[in-house]
Structure 1
């Protein structure tokens, strides 16, 4: 039995990585993404990043996530957007407040909670297969 995450979740993960952690900064161990870079453009950059961030929320909604979790995801995106309007400090805080990653973690936790039995069963089968291979060697 193989359990795969739905395409919406995989798309959200890729988008969040691009927006929040795509680039490793030299010398310091911090990763940033397009959100931090494009967010440096006053006003328009933050608005564009909010629009793209809401794509992740829409992917969560299309999975059938509960309204309370969707609202939490929207709140994370709006906080990120609002922080961008604080000159300089907002840009620095934006590096550390990774709303898109937070939203994907909400999606992942929800999806796992909905599919726990299948994930556990697939994990058990994979473990049994691995154990049998180890015994054969």
Structure 2
């Protein structure tokens, strides 16, 4: 199963040092939140668990071992993972937003900054409509 994983800026996560192109395995069966290499099926879901920080490393992975899912299926866990490739921050932004020229996460429309905006040219968070600044605006 393909997925996505976020790492600290030095490619570490939960005591493991990772490297692109390598395979990591543990003998234990995976259990979400307890044991295993955690990842998300959708890239945007990773940022429910990690800061949306361009200093972090983000990679496309493949889970090739046993897989455990949490109750929402947004977070998964495996006992054997391959780090396929690093994603640039531009790729992360493109994959986490729809429209063009957006920064932040889960924006739709064009040229939004902040998070969860729909419409065009909004700044701040949770705006709908066009040309809003601040938070929770409509219109």
TM-score tier, shorter chain, comes to under 0.3
The answer to which structure, 1 or 2, has the higher relative contact order (CA under 8 A, 6+ apart) is 1
Query: What TM-score, normalized by structure 2, do the two folds share?
Result: 0.27
Which structure: larger Rg? 1
Q: Which is helix-richer, 1 or 2?
A: 1
Q: Which is strand-richer, 1 or 2?
A: 2
